[in-house]
Amino acid sequence: MRGSPRHGTAVGVLVLLNALLFAAEAAEGVLTEHLLVQLHEDAQDEAHQLAAQHGFQSARKLPFGDGLFHFYPQDTSKRRSKRSARIKQWLQNNRRVKNVIEQEGFRRQKRGYRNINDIEVNMSDPLFTKQWYLINTGQADGTPGLDLNVAEAWQLGYTGKGVTIAIMDDGIDYLHPDLASNYNADASYDFSSNDPFPFPRYTE
């Protein structure tokens, strides 16, 4: 039985559309179920009500803007679904909502190994050899070469001068002598307590 030419054309168009949609999603990055929602009024009760109505676990007030809330999904393990796209549209059409932005995730990629004998680094720090995450030669019973590729960055001339690195953690002892001189207070914030002092609380 011969297939209809018109049927073959339709299948070809569908395949092409699917390929284009996949390429667009890959170019845009990995979208998650998390939403950044801005309300016209800075009302926490309204944010929680909207979040509950649309199936979110909670809505957290963000300190760096008026009416900004982070809408948390019920299941944080899932990536963006068709349902979340509809929810975004419903929220955008709500008179109380000013803007909705889907939050992007990250694609994880495996790194290749390199010969650990290719690079020689001489350091005066007596504890340097114990810092296996900088140059891993297997000194901590780990996998040789499985480190942060810091030596390669040094060889390329990168020293970190003039660069501020942001670290997400449950606290940092910025008064410690090893950190105090390089600590950037303007770039630091404690999102747990909503204050600019991310000092760890050892009682928590």
Asked if 173 and 181 touch (Cβ cutoff 8 Å), the reply is no
CATH of domain 28-104: 3.30.70
Burial of 185 (0-12, 13-18, 19+ CB in 10 A): exposed
Q: Looking at the predicted structure, is the pLDDT value of residue 19 above 60?
A: no
The region of weakest confidence among 27-36, 73-82, 99-108, 163-172 is 73-82
Note the pLDDT of residue 80. 56
- Residue 12 pLDDT grade (very low, low, confident, very high; cuts 50, 70, 90): very low
Tens digits of residue pLDDT in 167-204:
877 788 888 998 888 888 888 888 877 887 888 776 55
Q: Cα(157)–Cα(154) distance, rounded to whole angstroms?
A: 5
Tens digits of residue pLDDT in 40-52:
988 889 999 998 9
Asked if 94 and 67 touch (Cβ cutoff 8 Å), the reply is no
Q: How would DSSP label each residue in 112-180? A: PP--TTS-------TTGGG-TTTS-SSTTSS-TT-S--HHHHHHTT---TT-------S---TTSTTTG
Q: Looking at the predicted structure, is the pLDDT value of residue 69 above 90?
A: yes
Q: Looking at the predicted structure, is the pLDDT value of residue 11 above 90?
A: no
Note the pLDDT of residue 68. 92
Helix (H, G, I), strand (E, B) or coil at 72: strand
**pTM higher than 0.75:** no
